[in-house]
Structure 1
Amino acid sequence: MNKLSLTTVLLVFGLFANTVRAADIEAGKAKAQACAACHGETGNSTNPLYPVLAGQNARYIYLELRDFKEGARSNPVMSPMAANLSKEDMHDLAAYFASQKPDNIPFKADPEKVKLGFAKTEEVLCTMCHMGGLKGQNEIPRLTHQHYEYTLKQLYDFKNHVRTNDAGNMSAVSKTLTDEDIVNIAQYISTL
């Protein structure tokens, strides 16, 4: 690349960067007060039916909030909560929750089910999307530090096409799983 074209690229990028607002963690913290009743002050939900948001991928949180707002994902609690969020609100909330540290969740997993769940995650190649350790990436969620009950429900929701905002990936995988597989996978994930 010659010097002129590099300068042009940097100038254009600089102009574009100035128009893109960075997510504001402190603003997200203030906005997250409305989320605390279900997800906890720092995103560490103590109710096993609500997901832990602390440490979740910011892009994933943003996309899920957007899907709740636009109706691509539906939930009687979250859909109305997201309805009035602006794009800026969603980015700020995502940045705040992503910056928090997830707590370890006490769950007494059945070692045999954990072993079977691990084997099944290897068989269906969960790490191809969720990466090693099921830590997620970009719009693919981190599965570690998540409640057993929440994980179980999400797997069933994908299998039963109650949840469909996944571009078909999870729906395709989950339809190959038996109820026993789903329980074992959720048990395994609860230990991560």
Structure 2
Amino acid sequence: MNKLLNSMFALAVASVTAVSAHAQEIKGDAKAAEQKIAMCIGCHSIQGYQSSFPEVYRVPMISGQNAKYIVASLNAYKKGERKHPTMRGIADSLSEQDMADLGAYYEQHGKIQAVTKTPKVPDAKVAALLQKGACISCHGDNFSKPLDPSYPKIAGQHKDYLFVALKSYKVENQNTWGRNNVVMGGIAKQFTNAELKAMSAYIALLDGEMKVIPQPRLR
């Protein structure tokens, strides 16, 4: 299994390198994005806002997330690699420049200074699950320093969102829900939903750099 995961990681890094090289051609403008965030703030700038599709869960925190990951995610929705009707509709309306601008905006939006705190140690069961999935190999130290900026920071993210996101990589033959990703699909399918939930709960407890920042027009 480790040999298979290493091969999958190598493929993923090669793919990310190609995507990153292309993404570097377009420089995001955070200021310009201020005129483009109307479609985002209705969900991502409301504390506790929940999606009801395909089940109820809090939408992800994106303020403080890596710009390149935001761009990669939007492209995945646009290409249908991530299946979600609302996000697909939004991504379809965006140009590559729009995506780069939104990525730049949310990466620096409310950026907080990193604070060194005592690491939270998972119990033996969860630690074994995280090791089995080799999660730190991509998501980095304390799950907040990804191997590549096209990968997400996940420390402190909502546990219900993390769980739903992980489950989505196991979904097959659905037109409106699921995510197609060779690496994450191979990893997620090793675990039961109960195990994915346990890992999500631990990662959500970690100190992260993301948060929800209400916009003035929504306060």
Range class of TM-score, shorter chain: 0.7 to 0.9
Which has the larger share of helix?
Answer: 1
Who wins on radius of gyration, i.e. which is larger?
Answer: 1
Name the residue aligned to 2:39: 34
Q: How far apart are residue 124 of structure 1 and its match?
A: 2.0
Q: 2:199 aligned with 1:185, yes or no?
A: yes
Name the residue aligned to 2:168: 157
**Aligned equivalents of 1:83, 1:187: Cα separation in 2:** 32
Match of 1:171 among 180, 185, 198: 185
Q: How far apart are residue 46 of structure 1 and its match?
A: 4.0
Change (3 A) 1:39 1:45: farther
What's the % identity of the aligned pairs? 28
What's the TM-score, normalizing by structure 1?
Answer: 0.75
SS in 2 for 1:88: helix
Q: Which range moved further: 171-180 or 86-95?
A: 171-180
RMSD: 2.5
Q: How far apart are residue 102 of structure 1 and its match?
A: 6.8
Q: Which has the higher contact order (CA 8 A, sep 6+)?
A: 2
Unaligned stretches of 5+ residues in structure 2: 1-24, 51-56, 113-119, 207-219
Q: How far apart are residue 32 of structure 1 and its match?
A: 1.2
Unaligned stretches of 5+ residues in structure 1: 1-19, 104-110
Letter of the aligned partner of 1:93 in structure 2? Answer: L
What's the TM-score, normalizing by structure 2?
Answer: 0.67
**Aligned pairs for 1:35-74 within 5 A:** 35-40=40-45, 46-47=49-50, 48-74=57-83
How many pairs align?
163
Q: In the TM superposition, what whole-angstrom CA distance separates every residue of 1:35-74 from its partner, at most 9, and x where no partner exists? A: 1011117xx7643431111111111100111121222222
**Aligned equivalents of 1:131, 1:76: Cα separation in 2:** 31
**Aligned equivalents of 1:45, 1:86: Cα separation in 2:** 29
Match of 2:86 among 77, 91, 96: 77
**Aligned equivalents of 1:143, 1:102: Cα separation in 2:** 15
Asked whether the equivalents of residues 84 and 178 of structure 2 are also in contact (C-alpha less than 8 Å), the reply is no
